[in-house]
Amino acid sequence: MTTALTLSHGRRSDGTELLTAVGEIDMSNAAELARALAGTAGPLVLDLTEVEYLDSAGLSVLFPHAERLQLVTNPLLDPVLTISGLSDLTTVHGA
Amino acid sequence: MTRSEDAESAATPTAGTDVFAADTAIARDLALVDWAATTPLGDPEGWPQSLKTTVSILLSSKFSMWMAWGPELTFFCNAAYRRDTLGRKYPWALGRPAREVWAEIWNDIGPRIDTVLTTGEATWDQALLLFVERSGYPEESYHTFSYSPLRDDAGLVVGMLCVVNEETERVIGERRMATLRDLGSDPSVVRTEQEMLDFARVQLSRNPHDLPFTLTYLLQDDGSAALAALTGIDDDHPAAVKLLPAGSETVWPTEAPVRGDSVLTPLDGALFADLPTGVWAEAPVQALVVPLRQQGGAPYGFMVVGLNRYRDLDEGYRGFVELVAGHVATGVASARSYQAQERRAEELAELDRAKTTFFSNISHEFRTPLTLIMGPVEELRHRLTDGEAREELEVIHRNGLRLGKLVNTLLDFSRIEAGRMQAQYEPVDLAAVTGELASVFRSAVDRAGLDFRVDCLPLPESVFVDRSMWEKVVLNLLSNALKFTFDGSIRVAVGVEDGMAVVTVDDTGIGVAAHEMPRLFERFHRIENARSRSNEGSGIGLALVKELVGLHGGDISATSVEGRGTRFTIRLPFGSGHLPAGAVLREAGTGPTAMTDPFVQEALRWLPDEQATTMSVTAGSVVDGSPDAPAPGAEAAHVLIADDNADMREYLTRLLRGAGYRVSAVDDGRQALRTIRATAFDLVISDVMMPHMDGLALVAALRADSRTASVPVLLLSARAGQEASIEGLQAGADDYLVKPFAAAELLARVRANIELARLRSHHARWRTALVDSLQEAFFVCDEDGAVVEINRAFTDILGYGPEGLPYRAIHPWWPDATDSEAHQQVSDAFALLLGSTKGSYTIPITHRDGHRLWATATFNQVDDPDTGRRVTVGTFRDVTAEHYAIQRESALAALGTCLARATSLPQALAGALDELKKLWRARGVMAAVFDHGDEPTLTSTDGTPVWAELPAERRGTLDSLRQGPVLTPAVNPTGAGILLEFPDGPLALWIDLGENRPFTGEDQLLLSLLAGHLAQGLNRAHQIDQQRETAIALQRAILGPAQLPDGFAVRYEPATQPLEVGGDWYDTVSLPDGRIGIVVGDCVGRGLEAASVMGQLRSACRALLLQDASPAQTLMALDQFAAGVPGAACTTVFCGVLNADTGQLTYSSAGHPPGILVQPDGTTRLLEDGRSLPLAVRTGKQRPEGTCVISARSTLLLYTDGLVERRRRPLSAGIDQASEALQDGRNTAVDELATDVMARLAPVGGYDDDVALLLYRHPAPLEMSFPAESSQLAPVRKSLRSWLDQCDLPPTTVQNVLVAAGEACANAIEHGHRDAPGATIYFRAEAYVDNLRLTIADTGRWKAPQPELNTHRGRGMRLMRALMHQVTVTPGPSGTTVDMHARIV
């Protein structure tokens, strides 16, 4: 059984690709996220507003795509993103 | 039998299964009953709703219950009842009529059930004894239970429900504990084996339940076993056989117990036909024979215990019997070792007493008759002219001298032993002094035909010796050499070696066999069959020499080759640093004291050809004018010469010696006066003109003193003329001679004066001789209390000689004023002496060398016939030995009291050290227990010393004590020590006396006696400690619960004194709805009775809470119950029900001290609502209830009054103190906090009342374990999140903790996955007040993690460290533990 995570693809009004994640991300389902990210190319907005938990397993999936990612997050995730240094590599927007 | 026989395998669910759904295990068996066919209840499908509901409640209850329903009272029970009570009757009992199920106890319970059915009222029984047959035999069991009515759908009573708590373990446990405790409660230190056995017999006979009868056999020397004690059985019963021969197996097995094994023996056959039954209906059928084990030896014997036939001989019963036997064996061991120690101590003391008595008696008893023999012999020698008679007289005289010498030697020993040897070390030219002494022997050696060589080269500096002792040393060695040498030579040499003066005496005699050498210096040891010039000899000469050399700080050794000769070597240090300062004289005193006579006399008599002609030959040698040979055979007159001119001194000395006088010479009048006061002289020849004190002044001083008034004085002066001579004679001189004078004239005047004086002083001399021969010290005091005359015994005892007379008050032997008590005693006695005509007193006095003596004095006032003045004449006796014997007895008694009063090992030791310190007025006393390695545990009368900080010297002393033998005192100049056996390891004891305080043989004896006693006492205290631990363990076992709910900690501590079980209790009850019942209570009184009331109330309260979880209701029902239990009224109880999820606490207090709640913000709240009277004071009165919410991270303390109540202190002070302790323990885990609170509030001597304590911190710690799989992460996170919510934390903290915990779990899963997928991970989270602690441990076997090798695991570790305040990772062979702390801001 993996941790509940819903991933849905979409596009922003400006045409940028959008990936919306809802749920929790840990080592049991990080691969799902990795696959979803691999399925996209070019700039991508990753919406983590509804993600309640993100740990190093999730982060390590995000790092390879850091250059092309823009993150939309919630305050709960701030410490993790800051400490890991991901917020220095990507653009982070508050929700 | 109507149940399906193939029930187990079939297990097919039948109709009615859903009725039983609440418990699958019991349900399976219930479903197998053919209800329709075998019970009046019919098929379960058709049961009334009331029955279905009741059965469902019954099955779902965790509390032990059974019920009966319907006309046959059909039996149902739940899993708890099956486990606790039903035993082998399950599942047979299900569906049976209750009367059949419990046929064996129906007489007991049937009437109770009838009451319930007919009246509809519940019954209640407490610890009812029932003999149930559930294990194949009628079994003694105890049950606390209530029967309540069950009603059908129409409200009619159709059955009963029994809620039962089986208390067999508790009741029997308490009973056995009482026996063990009583066995160990003998307050006296056990003295004899019989007393011990009598005591044990009384205690064992008080438990006829577990010990229907006992027989204690002790093994005899011949291997047989003798009956020593019995209980519960008459001593004329055939089984109580008095003596079992060695190896006998006929009545009782002996071989197994003698080997050390227990053996169970059946009690059948005629011999056992009529055994006593104890309290039971029938007699035992088995007996257990247990050895009385001896540590490290064969058993002392064995005990036969008839066993209660109504109990299985399980581990508990067997253990109890062995503990009982262990107690008795320990008792036997103590009693025997006590007796052995006592006997040894008595033997030592007896030996010491005998020795001392022997020496004192022999010396004094011989001296008096000797004086009375030698005096008249001396007279006769001068008077008799008959040649033959005179020769016989000479034999008497010589042997008298010999005897005198022996007695004096013995006296010397006696003095050395008593520390009374009064030495005066003066600087001498050792070569000259030794050479002079050796020359005394020359004539004897010559006469023996031996070569005599004296090589005494001058030494570079002076050696300090006591002249008289040194004479004894040299003369003894010389006479020894002469005695055993027949050919060759004797050589005396003085020289320097290794910075010490060395004196050797060599001979070419018969030598000493190698095997005799070690005993050469041993007292009274004589070498048998040695060829010698004489068979006489006491074997003490060399022993004395060794003692005397030792007193000089030197040593003596001997080397010898048999047939070739012997060499004695004495080494003496130069200077005086090694000698007691008080006994050292700065300058040399008078010449030799001339005691050579007896030695030479004796030696001469060994030589051949001397028997017949002694007189003529020795007289001849005098006539020859040999300057070193005094007139042997005659008591030569002793003349003192005082002249400042050395030439004149030498001339006079030579002249007078030549004439056969003994001569001493001094430089001036002052020295002369001192010398005369110390030694009696027959004549003083003094120059008139001298420095310091001239001759006339000397005469005046001599005449002024009654003791010296009669000494004849011959004055010499260069001043001629009548006037000068008249001046001299007027001053009191007896004669006057003008220089120059003719030798013949001088000798004539000397002889005349001496003879005249002898006639004149005959009477006075006899008086002096008699006074001197008194065993008791003699003194005369003038009106002012000044001591003006003393005898020799006075000097012997006190060390103060006649030279210091008069001794004016305050006398120098008074104890120092700093010793105020002793000083006061002496001044009181002195006042008595001056103010009364006669009296007697015992006082402490101080010997000249500083050591303490005790003397008993008697005195009389008399008028001096010469002067008419009033003087006091007194005698005293040295009673030091008696005094110390009394002191010894009282010291033993004091130590015994102190040890008996102690309630713990540390207390006993500390008390004993204080006693020792007091006894010896020591600076301090220290005990070092070598309980682990080389660094001992220290206890001291002064503070708490640390081994590493002790002076190296002290550490060395303690270490060497430890290496030595036990109970043997070791003494050095700073104190004394001893080693003794201690329960934890050897104990070295050191008494710090300060510099140079004497520690006499008496003290050493006392120390070893006390140490033996102390070892016994400490052993006993150790046993008390162990008993205390047992008592606590047992009470805790009674208290339970075995498993506390999470978040709780409890403590129970019995009062220090007396050690008893108590009436305080705590309890937690897990209620069916998940809430937790909390109870803390306190019954009035203590002891078994209170414990039993406590047990009943606790069980009742537990059952009531399970039935109706409202604290007020529970207490009200408990009021009713307590009213019917004697001793239960006035019990105080705090009863609460806690919802552990929300922290909601409902409570009611029956007169109990308020609970204390400490909140995270630092405020304290007392739970003072819901208060009412103690139990059963107003039965039926409504009780109030209070509620409160225990907020997150608050700590709740419930307790009994023993924790906070102290005499003369308001309760609120104790409550404040407890609150503070809780505040200070904000970040301590509850279990540790419970320990801290108990320790911090404990009074100095321990709690004087029982204390029960219960702590709870909200929320309880979260504990989970889960398999190492990533799918577990989400549920673990969910549980943690909900627990963190209970902790009331800021959202950021929650998120940080979640991520850090998630990372730690992911780590564990990832590593665990590699080698052991699914291994268990253990997770724990605990909240403190300002702190959270998380522990994640995996149990998988994987190598030390190397997170750095894996980038995202490395990232995880970084996250953990960043999000938490402290992260510790401990890898280990069996797994890795991560410990994390988060501060709560």
Residue A40's domain is classified under what CATH number? 3.30.750.24
Residue in B1273, B1298, B1355 closest to A60 by CB: B1355
Domain boundary among B137, B166, B195: B166
Task: Give the residue, A49 or B355, on which the prediction is more confident.
Answer: A49
Write the pLDDT tens digit of every residue in B311-332.
999 888 988 898 889 888 888 8
Q: Is B537 in a helix, a strand, or coil?
A: coil
For residues B1177 and B1251, membership in a common domain is answered with yes
Give yes or no: residues B1251 and B1287 share one domain. no
Tell me, yes or no, whether B514 lies in a domain. yes
In a 10 Å sphere around its CB, with 0-12 CB exposed, 13-18 middle and 19+ buried, how is residue B557 labelled?
Answer: middle
pLDDT score, position B617? 28
Residue B287 and residue B430 share a domain: no
pLDDT, one tens digit per residue, over B685-726 is 998 877 778 888 898 888 877 778 778 888 887 655 555 566
What is the interface pTM, i.e. ipTM, of the complex?
0.91
Q: Tell me, what DSSP letter sits at residue B103? A: G
CA B853, CA B420: separation in Å to the nearest integer? 10
> Residue B646: its pLDDT value, please?
72
Encode pLDDT of B162-183 as tens digits: 888 888 888 888 888 888 878 8
Q: A26–B1295: do the CB atoms touch at under 8 Å? A: no
Whether residues B1199 and B1327 fall in one domain: no
Q: Give me the helices (H) in B994-1148, please.
A: 1001-1039, 1088-1107, 1111-1123
Reported as a pLDDT band with limits 50, 70 and 90, residue B1080 is very high
Residue A34's pLDDT is: 92
Does residue B214 carry a pLDDT above 90? yes
Tell whether B561 and B669 lie within a shared domain: no
- Please report which confidence band the pLDDT of residue B1151 belongs to, taking 50, 70 and 90 as the band edges: very high
Q: CB distance A4–B1303 less than 8 Å?
A: no
- Residue A79: which domain range? 5-94
Which residue from A minimizes the CA distance to B1300? A55
What CATH number did the domain enclosing B272 receive? 3.30.450.40
Of all residues in chain B, what percent carry a pLDDT higher than 90?
22
Among the partner-chain residues A3, A56, A80, the one whose CB lies closest to the CB of B1274 is: A3
Query: How near does any CA of chain B get to the CA of A13, in Å?
Result: 32
Contacts of residue B1273 in chain A, CB cutoff 8 Å? Answer: 3, 26-28
Statement: residue B813 has pLDDT above 70: yes
Inter-chain contact A4–B1363, Cβ cutoff 8 Å?
A: no
In a domain, residue B377? The reply is: no
Q: Which residue has better confidence, B884 or B1349?
A: B884
Q: How much is the average pLDDT of B1039-1064?
A: 76
CATH number at B802 reads 3.30.450.20
Domain boundary among B827, B845, B878: B878
- CB atoms under 10 Å from CB of B562, counted, come to 12
* Domain around B195: 184-345
Interval B980-998 mean pLDDT = 80
Chain B interface, mutation test: which of A5, A24, A27, most B Cβ atoms within 10 Å?
A: A27
- pLDDT tens for each residue of B226-283: 999 999 999 889 899 999 998 888 889 999 999 889 999 999 888 888 899 888 989 9
Task: Grade residue B923 by pLDDT with cuts at 50, 70 and 90.
Answer: confident
The pLDDT assigned to B687 comes to: 86
* B295 belongs to a structural domain: yes
Let me know whether B1058 and B1155 are in one domain: yes
Tell whether B108 is covered by a domain.
yes
- A1 CA to chain B: closest CA distance, Å? 5
Please give the pLDDT value at position B178. Answer: 83
Query: In the structure, what pLDDT confidence band is assigned to residue B634 with cuts at 50, 70 and 90?
Result: very low
Confidence of residue B667 (pLDDT cuts 50, 70, 90): confident
Q: What is the mean pLDDT of residues B871-886?
A: 79
| From B299-313, B407-421, B507-521, B1060-1074, the region with the lowest mean pLDDT | B407-421
B1351 chain-A contacts, CB cut-off 8 A = 60
Q: Are residues B291 and B341 in the same domain?
A: yes
**Are B1299 and A80 an interchain contact pair (Cβ–Cβ within 8 Å)?**
yes
Task: Find the CB nearest A56 among B1273, B1298, B1352.
Answer: B1352
Q: Say whether pLDDT at B1027 is over 80.
A: no
| Closest CA–CA distance from residue B1140 to any residue of chain A (Å) | 27
Query: B1302 contacts in A (CB within 8 Å)?
Result: 26, 53, 55
Domain boundary among B1228, B1257, B1286: B1257
The reply to whether B780 and B731 lie within a common domain is: no
Q: In chain A, positions 41-80, which contact chain B (CB-CB < 8 Å)? A: 53-57, 59-60, 76, 79-80
Q: B41 and B20: one domain?
A: yes
Number of domain units in chain A: 1
Distance from CA of A10 to the nearest CA of B (A): 27
pLDDT at site B1174: 93
Looking at the complex, does the CB of residue A31 fall below 8 Å from at least one CB of chain B?
Answer: no
Residues of B in contact with A4 (CB under 8 A): 1274
pLDDT, tens digit, 9 for 90 and up, residues B1199-1217: 998 898 888 888 889 999 9
Answer with the residue of higher pLDDT: B121 or B758: B121
> CA–CA separation, B1345 vs B1377, rounded Å?
11
B787 and B688 together in one domain: no
CATH code, domain carrying B1284 = 3.30.565.10
Amino acid letter for position B469: M
In the predicted structure, residue B629 carries a pLDDT above the cut 50: no
CB contact under 8 A, A84 and B1270: no
Give the confidence band of B539 by pLDDT, cuts at 50, 70, 90. Answer: low
CB contact (8 A) between residue B1296 and residue A2: no
A-B contacts (CB, under 8 Å): 71
B405 assigned to some structural domain: no
A28 at B interface, C-beta within 8 A: yes
pLDDT of residue B1040: 62
Q: What pLDDT band is residue B619 in, cutting at 50, 70 and 90?
A: very low
Structure tokens at B10: 């079939």
Above pLDDT 70, what percent of chain B? Answer: 86
Closest by alpha carbon to B48, among B65, B29, B70, B32? B70
The CA R_g of chain A, rounded to the nearest whole Å, is: 12
Q: Tell me: pLDDT of B68 over 80.
A: yes
Other CB atoms closer than 10 Å to residue B154's CB: what's the count? 8
Give residue-wise pLDDT tens across range B729-785: 777 788 887 766 767 778 888 888 888 777 666 666 666 666 776 777 888 888 888
Please say whether the beta carbons of B525 and B541 come within 8 A: no
Same domain, B623 and B644: no
Reported as a single tens digit per residue, the pLDDT across B108-117 is 899 999 998 9
Nearest CA in chain B to A23: B1274
Asked if the structure places residue B1107 within a domain, the reply is yes
B739 is a domain residue: yes
User: Which pLDDT score, from 0 to 100, does residue B678 have?
Assistant: 83
Work out the minimum CA distance from B1192 to partner chain A, whole angstroms: 23
Alpha-carbon separation of residue B49 from B29, B151, B1107 (angstroms):
21, 11, 21
- Cβ neighbours for B997, distance < 8 A, ≥ 6 positions apart: B850
What pLDDT was estimated at residue B562? 87
Please name the residues in contact with B69: beta carbons below 8 A apart, sequence gap of 6 or more.
B41, B51, B54, B76, B150, B158, B159
Is the model's pLDDT at B304 over the cut of 90?
yes
Q: For B849-873, how does the pLDDT look when each residue is reduced to its tens digit (9 = 90+)?
A: 877 888 888 888 888 766 677 888 8
Q: Judge if B620 and B659 occupy the same domain.
A: no
